[in-house]
């Protein structure tokens, strides 16, 4: 599997927002390694190398990048409540069932 290597030097980044974004990326990758589901992913590799005050090198494969995006955009799995009423809300639950003939059906 191919690997991607990206090297970032802080002085080469054009503005403070880019440096802050790099700091956020470093934090996300570090936190990703603490997630139990990441350890279960087959072949996922994403690592920070040469992390210092001057920059960082990120090494990853495709599965590692997928895991990073899954972690970044992860939805809440538990139900949440709110103090205010949500207007025009219709709850829709979809469930996949297997019919008598063995075909899957979404209801």
Alpha helices in 1-105 (DSSP H): 16-32, 36-39, 62-72
Any idea where the domains of the chain sit in the sequence? 3-73
Token look-up 């090198």 returns 57
pTM (predicted TM-score): 0.66
**How do residues 30-41 score in pLDDT, each as one tens digit?**
999 998 888 888
CA–CA separation, 5 and 49 (whole Å): 10
Q: What tens digit of pLDDT does each residue of 20-70 get?
A: 999 999 999 999 999 888 888 888 999 999 999 999 999 999 999 999 999
Contact 54, 8 (CB under 8 A): no
Q: Report the largest interatomic distance among the alpha carbons of the chain, rounded to a whole angstrom.
A: 65
């Amino acid at each position: 599997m191919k690997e991607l290597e990206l090297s970032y030097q802080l002085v080469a980044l054009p503005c403070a927002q880019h440096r802050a974004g790099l700091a956020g990326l470093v934090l996300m990758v570090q936190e990703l390694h603490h997630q139990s589901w990441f350890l279960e992913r087959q072949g996922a590799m994403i690592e920070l190398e040469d992390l210092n005050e001057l920059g960082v090198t990120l090494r990853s494969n495709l599965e590692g990048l997928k895991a990073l995006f899954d972690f970044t955009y992860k939805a809440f799995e538990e139900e949440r409540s709110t103090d205010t009423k949500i207007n025009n809300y219709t709850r829709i639950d979809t469930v996949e069932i297997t019919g008598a003939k063995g075909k899957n059906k979404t209801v």
